[in-house]
Amino acid sequence: MFRKNYNDMMDKLIITCAISGAEVTKEMNPAVPYTIEEMVEAAFGAYQAGASIIHLHARFDDGTPTQDKERFQLIHQAIQKKCPDVIIQVSTGGAVGMSRDERLDVLNIHPEMATLDCGTLNFGGDDIFVNTENDIQYFAEMMNTQHVRYEMECFEKGHIDTTLRFIKKGVIKNHLHYSFVLGVRGGMSGEERDFLFLKDSIPEEATFSVAGIGKYEFSLAELSIRHGGHVRVGLEDNLYIDKGHLAKSNRELVEKVVSLANKHGRLIATPKDTRRILEMENK
Ligand code: KMH
Ligand code: ZN
């Protein structure tokens, strides 16, 4: 049970900012970053506002998503130069339709942290985001071998059940950190009962973060803050600061989470705190 006294370092709120994604475009919101300079500016703004983890997808200058290790390396290095202690969590999800090996190319830059997507789901229209059981095992084993810390992205309850099987088999053996990504068309929605169901379905020792897609971003952020979880926001997940008002930047979305954390008495985790909470200190 989460304590009501939020003074402990372990109770600090980890904010992840998903600055760019692979599917959102400048036509939807001009603040979506594509170029390396735009990525750095977005990451720096989010970091200054309180994000300790940057969830990163790479894009070419025209916005095309890529998992190409050279492009990723350039963006990764540029962000690290500007925010040396921030945790960069690279996406191994990439974009819908990418092959397994294409998605894994990013591991060649030896990231500190990456996502592990824990199941297949419809992704709107004809799109299917494919993560078979064999894919998940392959991704986890690659990351285990390379000592990359993974965050388990679960889009519905079946994905959590899959992780539980892999934990039992010893395939998943990280510190257990979940991300509930809720509100994708094809995945689980992001109502309070959905959140509570998932939160109560993970192992007791696990930590979790919530990424609410679209209209769920801030309602889920607040629920997670209240229940001792962590929060992901960013233009990848949601383009609006308020109903009908586009967010001006990733920073603005992070600032809104910080104000929710203040309201509920949660302090914000620095990158150092975050490494401690997620047991990444020896990295
Ligand atoms: N772009 C989505 C298809 C991840 O980053 O690992 C997958 C995604 C998940 O965004
Ligand atoms: Zn992503």
Q: DSSP of 224-254, one letter per residue? A: HHHTT-EEEESTTT--EEETTEE-S-HHHHH
Regarding the beta carbon of 93 and ligand 1, being less than 6 Å apart is answered yes
Run of H or E residues at 69 = helix 69-82
- Indicate whether 3 belongs to any domain: no
- Whether 204 is covered by a domain: the verdict is yes
pLDDT at res. 1: 39
pLDDT in tens, the chain (283 residues): 344 445 577 799 999 999 999 999 999 999 999 999 999 999 999 999 999 999 999 999 999 999 999 999 999 999 999 999 999 999 999 999 999 999 999 999 999 999 999 999 999 999 999 999 999 999 999 999 999 999 999 999 999 999 999 999 999 998 999 999 999 999 999 999 999 999 999 999 999 999 999 999 999 999 999 999 999 999 999 999 999 999 999 999 999 999 999 999 999 999 999 999 999 976 4
Q: Is the CB of 96 under 6 A from ligand 1?
A: yes
**Residue 40 lies inside a defined structural domain of this protein:** yes
Does residue 227 form part of some domain? yes
Using CB atoms within 10 Å of the CB of residue 191, give its burial: 0 to 12 exposed, 13 to 18 middle, 19+ buried: middle
In a domain, 189, yes or no: yes
Number of domains in the chain: 1
Where do we find the tokens 């509920």?
264
Q: Where are the alpha helices (DSSP H) in 89-169?
A: 100-104, 133-145, 157-169
Q: Domain of 53: which CATH number?
A: 3.20.20.70
Q: Is 11 in the pocket of ligand 1 (CB under 6 A)?
A: no
Q: Would you say residue 243 lies in a domain?
A: yes
Rounded Cα–Cα distance for residues 117 and 17 (Å): 17
- Inside any domain, residue 9: no
What pLDDT does residue 7 have? 53
E strands along the chain, which residues? Answer: 15-18, 53-56, 58-59, 65-66, 87-90, 113-117, 121-122, 128-129, 149-154, 177-182, 207-212, 230-233, 240-242, 245-246
**pTM assigned to the model:** 0.96
Burial class (CB in 10 A: 0-12, 13-18, 19+), 58: buried
Pocket test for ligand 1, best of 56, 88, 91, 105 (most atoms within 8 A of CB): 91
Residue 280's Cβ-count burial label (10 Å; 0-12, 13-18, 19+) is middle
| C-alpha to C-alpha distance for 113 and 195, rounded to whole angstroms | 24
The finding on whether 115 has its CB within 6 A of some atom of ligand 1 is yes
Range of the domain at 79: 15-277
Question: How many whole angstroms from 181 Cα to the centroid of ligand 1?
Answer: 10
How far is the C-alpha of 25 from the C-alpha of 143, rounded, in Å?
A: 30
- 1 Cα: distance to centroid of ligand 1 (angstroms): 31
What b/e sequence results for 119-149 when a residue is b if at least 16 CB atoms lie within 10 Å of its CB, and e otherwise? bbbebeeeeebbbeeebbeebbebbeeeebb
Report d(CA 6, CA 13) in Å as an integer: 10
Angle, helix 192-199 to helix 217-226, in steps of 10 degrees: 40
Neighbour-count burial of 279, counting CB atoms closer than 10 A to its CB (0-12 exposed, 13-18 middle, 19+ buried)? middle
